[in-house]
Chain A
Amino acid sequence: MTGFDFVLSIGGAAGQGIATPGNILARMCARRGIHMYAYNAYQSIIRGGHSFLTVRMSDVERRTHGNEIDLLLCLNQDTMDRHLEHLGAGTSVIFNSDTITAGDAAEGVQLCPMEVGELAGKGANKLMQNTVALAVASQLMGVEFEALEDVLRFQFSGKSAEIADENVRVAQAAYDYSATEFEPAAQQMPAPSQPLAVWRGNDAFAVAAAGAGVKFYCAYPMSPSTGILHWMAANARELGIMVRQVEDEISVICMTIGAAHAGCRAMCATSGGGFALMTEAVGAAAMMEIPIVIVNVQRAGPSTGVPTKTEQGDLWQVLGASQGDFPKLIHAPTSPLDGFQTIPLVFNLAEKYQLPAMILSDLLISDETATVDPALLDMHPDIDRAGLIMEAGDEAGSYERYKFTESGISPRALPGIPGYEHVVATDEHMPDGVLISDEFTHPHKRRAMVEKRQRKMDGLLAELPPPRIVGDPDAEVTLIGWGSTEGVIQEGIEQLAEQGITANHLHFTWIVPFHADEANALLESCKHTIIIENNYTGLFHRYLRSETGFTVDGHIRKYDGEPFKPKHIVACVQEQLAGADEVSVPYEEIIV
């Protein structure tokens, strides 16, 4: 590998302020035009525990936190004890030698002890060790002090001038000390180029929804989806979006449906547990034919599970959400940018086909902090309300909400328009909205209405892009994934190539409706298929098999809460190609 590709990790307890140096580093990279991807391993705790933030900086976009650490910043002894053993030659460890003792380091590991008390002065804020560590890290990576000062002053711009000045003074002392005492890192930060933007996955989804015209957003706080609510709440009044935090997820989805019925583009988000509460109303949206967008940010389950860890465990929950058999849209984006770019389409499709759309994200992409090229941030996507009736027309007085049509799409009129009065019902109903569930039931009418709704799926499928294979069509192995694993599979394929193994990539993001024929044709063309998932039972494989009849050759699965690294993919593919007939489960060496 050539070019700049550097991994820095910061470890400490929750409450020790890991987020601040993380944010400063992110901004430093972004302003310099250096790509950055951060993965934070943390626990559901406000104070204590072990948080481990891994920041990968590179001159080309990377979508994983890499394989190995180049530079470790220890904010407590626990971090030193847990991670020093994983560091090899050419790496460095920065720590506060007033409170932390170095362990036995491998040959070639540079220990960088810093006497923070001496540098910062007696009685200095405990968080000053973060500034010291950051200054030494910057110096080792070859970042000019001015660039560090710039982001430090930005970070402390909300505080008093004295606090900013004090941090800059201590940073300067630490920077100068490092320059005389330590060896620079093997890789040096490249010169500045075009600045990049920084976002988190949840921000990307929120911004996309705002651009797509969302006017109503409702949620109940649940990790790791809450970032969307935070963004929405912060921007609601400025952007004219009605944002509400309400009593439970049942209320969340029902309010979303109510608002959508009355004309708002409406969205809600939650994680698996909250989604479980929402399920009855998913069917209500389908039956009343009201377009809503629901984001489920998966975390490790079942039940409360591991709230701060990632998993692709909710596929079948979303597939089977709500009683009955009804049309729906399910999309699993691969990254913050992918979600940003597809959410406007999801809104258009939900509105055109008048059904619930579900976006299956997970902690890995919703929680990640990464740089993005601002040129890619098109916030004026096509908004197509697909013939929504917003003023009285010819049908006034004879309007039928659930009129039978060839496409299955009935004209949708907003409440408030004279001559278009109608009732939307969760009971089965006739074109004019009159129920056929209580006083009269009628098999022919019921059949006609079921078919009307389900016909919408044909049109919807035709609008979704079919799956495709990326990479060498003659590759000896095809890696199959869905949703958030796209980035790590792509990097795994690059690293497999270095080992002399050619692999290509078949990735699924549009789950329901599903291009089964196209998928099957692609699968039949592959030499050896391995499917990669963040769950135990191969949930997507079971779905793929049900839709295509195709059974893959091998499986790589990870369900320990931590995301795949590229090297995990490489090792497991090698194991599979060597004839392993069991599922390959990579070993996670980082204990957090």
Chain B
Amino acid sequence: MVTGEQLPQLTAKDFKGKVDPDWCPGCGDFGVLTGLQRAVAELGLQPHELMTISGIGCSSNFPGFFNSFGMHTLHGRSLPHASGAKLANHEMTVVVTGGDGDGYGIGGNHFTHTSRRNLDILYIVMDNQIYGLTTGQLSPTSELGMKTKTSPHGSIELPVNPIASAITAGATWVARGYTGNIKQLISLIKAGIQHKGFALLDVFSPCVTFNKVNTYQFFRPRVQPLEDIDHDSSDWKAGIEKAMVWGEEIHTGLFFETNARPTLGEQEPVLDEGGPLGFRELGLSKEETERIVSRMM
């Protein structure tokens, strides 16, 4: 396999996909797309070293707009597809992209278990607190009282807290970005890719068409980067405490990080030698077959 060192330094535009995004003008997801393109260029990655993998939804169209290897899978199932792909080729950088409904709703079970599995994956959730592609229904992160087509009298279900959930589920890097702060977003994406282990980056990515509550106007005065205040990101309790803050002040930045836990790949001796599993020679050796048969005798 060819490594990045031998190839030219690329720029963000080299990571533009075959087609332009079909998102609504003003959609927050443009910021995440630009952010990832710039982040991987700055990290010196090449398109063939990357896999972007998504589920279904507006934001899940992401891989089609990005130049790398990509999988555009089923609604809610980006993480298991990505997990299998990462285990089959652990040398590639895997970035999973999707929305809040895809990741925290229908994919909630996978979110919990992928977090504790600690595969070396960056999971970017473009969180707009609404279902956009299906034209505006409640999402698992919609606020209490939120009125949508499916909650005309206001939501009476508590939203999930992705940051606190990820920390308690065992994710080893948990952060929140905001598409109104691209500089911070790019720096978080780079850190998330470089982190060895499962990294969740929840991004406030406003839906300008269907969410009239959680808008740029809503977030602008509220977002409070954790890097600007005294926060110890190695303390999971402090991370959860900051994650629970929602109101006049909402935190962004790195909530929690630990490098104390090895990744799944590092703990799996099958990956130790021989390069990516998907490229290895197939079939059993004579010794292996003799051992299998002798155990049956």
Contacts and interface: CB of A to CB of B under 8 A. Distances in A.
A411 to B, nearest CB: 15
B87 A216 contact: yes
B139 interface: no
A414 B81 contact: no
A247 B113 contact: yes
Task: Give the residue among B1, B81, B277 with the most A Cβ atoms within 10 A.
Answer: B81
A446 interface: no
5 contacts: A199-B296, A203-B296, A211-B289, A213-B283, A415-B51
Contacts of B72: 423-427, 435
Task: Give the residue among A238, A247, A259, A262 with the most B Cβ atoms within 10 A.
Answer: A262
B195 interface: no
Interface of B: 1-2, 7, 17-19, 22, 46-49, 51, 53, 56, 61, 63-64, 67-74, 77, 79-89, 91-92, 109-110, 112-113, 268-271, 274, 276-280, 282-284, 288-289, 291-293, 296-297
Nearest to A420: B48
Contacts of A81: none
Q: Which 4 pairs between the two chains have the least Cβ-Cβ distance?
A: A263-B278, A258-B84, A213-B282, A262-B88
Contacts of A416: 1, 48-49, 69, 89, 91-92, 276, 278-279
Contact of A262 (B47, B67, B84): B84
Contacts of B85: 258-259, 261-262, 415
Nearest to B17: A423
A419 B1 CA distance: 12
B270 A218 contact: no
Contacts, number: 229
A455 interface: no
B283 A259 contact: no
Contacts of A496: none
A195 B79 CA distance: 48
Contacts of A252: 80
Contacts of A390: 279
Contact of A379 (B47, B68, B284): B284
Contact of A418 (B22, B46, B297): B46
Given A254-B74, A418-B48, A240 B84 contact: no
Interface of A: 30-31, 195, 197-199, 203, 207, 210-213, 215-216, 218, 235-242, 244, 246-248, 250-252, 254-266, 280-281, 284, 288, 372, 374, 377, 379-380, 383, 385, 390, 392, 414-427, 432-435, 438-439
A240 B69 contact: no
A34 B4 CA distance: 61
B81 A423 contact: no
Contacts of B268: 242
Nearest to A435: B64
B293 A197 contact: yes
Given A251-B110, A374-B297, A426-B74, A259 B47 contact: no
B70 to A, nearest CB: 4
A251 B80 CA distance: 5
A383 B283 contact: yes
A266 B48 CA distance: 22
Nearest to A281: B74
A244 B56 CA distance: 25
B280 A215 contact: yes
A265 B277 CA distance: 9
Contacts of B278: 215, 259, 262-264, 414, 416
A281 B77 contact: yes
Nearest to B61: A438
Given A242-B268, A415-B69, A250 B87 contact: no
B71 A288 contact: yes
A425 B56 CA distance: 10
Contact of A421 (B19, B47, B112): B47
Contact of B69 (A218, A241, A254, A421): A421
Given A246-B80, A254-B77, A374-B296, A414 B270 contact: no
Contacts of A425: 63-64, 70-72
A374 B1 contact: no
A213 B284 CA distance: 7
Contacts of B282: 212-213, 215, 265, 383, 385
A449 to B, nearest CB: 15
Nearest to B58: A438
A275 B270 CA distance: 28
A150 to B, nearest CB: 13
A260 B88 CA distance: 8
Nearest to A210: B284
A47 to B, nearest CB: 29
A253 to B, nearest CB: 8
Contact of B19 (A213, A260, A379, A434): A434
Given A250-B110, A380-B289, A383-B283, 7 more contacts: A198-B296, A246-B83, A261-B88, A374-B297, A422-B69, A425-B72, A435-B61
A213 B19 CA distance: 37
Contacts of A262: 51, 84-86, 88-89, 92, 276-278
Task: Give the residue among B68, B72, B289, B293 with the most A Cβ atoms within 10 A.
Answer: B72
A211 to B, nearest CB: 6
Contact of A263 (B53, B61, B274, B276): B276
A301 B47 CA distance: 48
B292 A207 contact: yes
Contacts of B292: 207, 210, 235, 379
A456 B19 CA distance: 29
A426 B73 contact: yes
Contacts of B64: 423, 425, 433-435
A107 to B, nearest CB: 42
A255 B296 CA distance: 30
A372 B292 CA distance: 14
Nearest to A288: B71
B236 to A, nearest CB: 22
Contact of A254 (B80, B92, B271): B80
B93 to A, nearest CB: 11
Given A255-B81, A258-B84, A414 B279 contact: yes
Given A241-B270, A423-B63, A258 B88 contact: yes
Contacts of A417: 1, 48
Given A415-B85, A423-B70, A432 B18 contact: yes
A241 B110 CA distance: 22
Nearest to B74: A284
Given A197-B296, A379-B292, A433 B18 contact: yes
Nearest to A263: B278
A428 to B, nearest CB: 11
A425 B62 CA distance: 11
B292 to A, nearest CB: 6
Contacts of A248: 109
A237 B288 CA distance: 12
B84 A266 contact: yes
Task: Give the residue among A235, A254, A392 with the most B Cβ atoms within 10 A.
Answer: A254
A421 B10 CA distance: 15
A390 B274 CA distance: 15
Nearest to B265: A242
A415 B92 contact: yes
A379 B92 CA distance: 32
Task: Give the residue among B71, B269, B293 with the most A Cβ atoms within 10 A.
Answer: B71
A201 to B, nearest CB: 13
A236 B269 CA distance: 10
A491 B120 CA distance: 55
Given A199-B296, A242-B87, A421-B48, A438 B67 contact: no
B297 A195 contact: yes
B73 A211 contact: no
Contacts of A254: 73-74, 77, 80-81, 84
A380 B283 contact: yes
